[in-house]
Structures are given as structure tokens and as C-alpha cells.
Amino acid sequence: MSEKKKQLIISISREYGAGGHLIAQILAEKLGLELVDADSIARYFADNHNFNYDEVMKYSGKPFNRIIHRTIQGHTSTLEENLSRMQFDYLREKAANGDSFVIVGRCSETVLEDYDCMIAFFILADEEDKVKRVMEREGLNEYDARHTARAGTWNHKSYHNYYCKGKWGDSRLYDVCINSSRFGPEKTADILENYINEYLNS
């Protein structure tokens, strides 16, 4: 009889271009866990809740204009907020089902804070490394990549800080904050895997 695996949730928050998604992918693969990211969530919503995949991708995980937004008795006019809250519910439901997974973003370190089995990492990187990664990944010139990296990081921050009391990037929200520029994403993933294994063996 195989022993039932301990539930494990890895939350990865990241600066734009810091390699957080790549680290999440490596960890998911090494630990044999499901990777939950914008794409997989959009697919889930499209397959199970009538949503259009492209629309979910367009409005998910994004901040929105607070001026053209209204909330009435818990209902909101903003598609970004409606989708975000549904995604938070989806994560809570998944965690409550006992699922183990690696989740990228979605304010997961706060949404799933009640789960002791959740380990939260925050991945940052040096500016030049972020720009280089964005240039390679998105085929942009240096100027555009720098702008995209800054705007992307600002988006992550605004999105998080609208829904959560704790501030994005505040070390107190995470188990480990790590600069991926020091050793590169692969080695950073190894370090984080060791941390996770220590937790699992404790």
C-alpha cells in the first residue's frame, strides 16, 4: 500500500522577467506537481465554465482602471475583478480538495495563506537580466523590453495590492525571497527544491 502523499502547494510570485514562471515549471516537473498558471486556469475556465479562453487570458491577472469601475453589493462591473475573484475561489477549491500544485501568481500566497502546506517564494532579478530575458522571450529590442519589464512588474504589483492587504514583494508574505540573477533560474530552482525537501522531511 502506497503511503498517501502529503499535500504541498508551492506559490511563486515574481517580478516580470525574473524567470519566476520558468522556475515554477522546473519545480513542478521535479516534484511531479501540477503547474497552475494563467494558461491552465484559462483552459479550465473555458472547458468547465463556458468562458472564452482568449477573453480569460485578456482580462486575467491584470490591474484595472479604478475610475471606470463600480462595486454594488458585492457585484463589480470590472471583468478583471470578476475573473480574479473566480480564480481565487478556484484556487481555494483546489486546495480544499487536497490537491498539490505549483501556482504562479494569482495572489496565491495570500489567497491560500491558511494552508500550512503552502510554501511561498518571491523571485526577483537584476534589471539587466530581466531586460535580457524579456528581449529573448518576446523578441523585443532593448528599449521596448525595458519598458515591458517595468510595466509588467508594475502590473503584478498593482494587481496584487488591490486584492491583498499585504504588499507585493514584502518579505513577510513569503517563505523565501530570492534573486534569480545570482545563480540563474535552473540553479535557483534547485535551491528552492532543497528548501521544499527540507520541509517535506521535517
Binding residues (CB under 8 A) for another protein: these are 45, 49-52, 55, 59, 66-73, 75-77, 79, 82-83, 86
Quote the least distance from Cβ 152 to another protein, whole Å.
Answer: 22
Grid cell of 99 as nine digits: 490537491
Quote the least distance from Cβ 38 to another protein, whole Å.
Answer: 16
Q: Closer to another protein at the Cβ: 15 or 80? A: 80
Quote the least distance from Cβ 172 to another protein, whole Å.
Answer: 23
Q: For residue 30, give Cα distances in angstroms to 37, 68, 175, 192.
A: 17, 44, 20, 11
Grid cell of 27 as nine digits: 519545480
Cα–Cα distance, 104 to 34 (Å, whole number): 11
Cα–Cα distance, 104 to 123 (Å, whole number): 11
Q: What's at 16, amino acid-wise?
A: Y
Q: Closer to another protein at the Cβ: 8 or 83? A: 83
* Inter-residue contact 154 to 48 (CB < 8 Å): no
Quote the least distance from Cβ 70 to another protein, whole Å.
Answer: 4
Q: Closer to another protein at the Cβ: 1 or 68? A: 68
Grid cell of 183 as nine digits: 545563480
Q: Which residues of 13-46 are buried (b: 16+ CB within 10 A; e: fewer)?
A: bbbbbbbbbbbbbbbbeebebebbbbeebbebbb
Q: Closer to another protein at the Cβ: 53 or 115? A: 53
Q: Closer to another protein at the Cβ: 92 or 150? A: 92
Q: Closer to another protein at the Cβ: 35 or 57? A: 57
Quote the least distance from Cβ 49 to another protein, whole Å.
Answer: 5
In the chain, count H helices and then E strands: 8, 7
Quote the least distance from Cβ 200 to another protein, whole Å.
Answer: 37
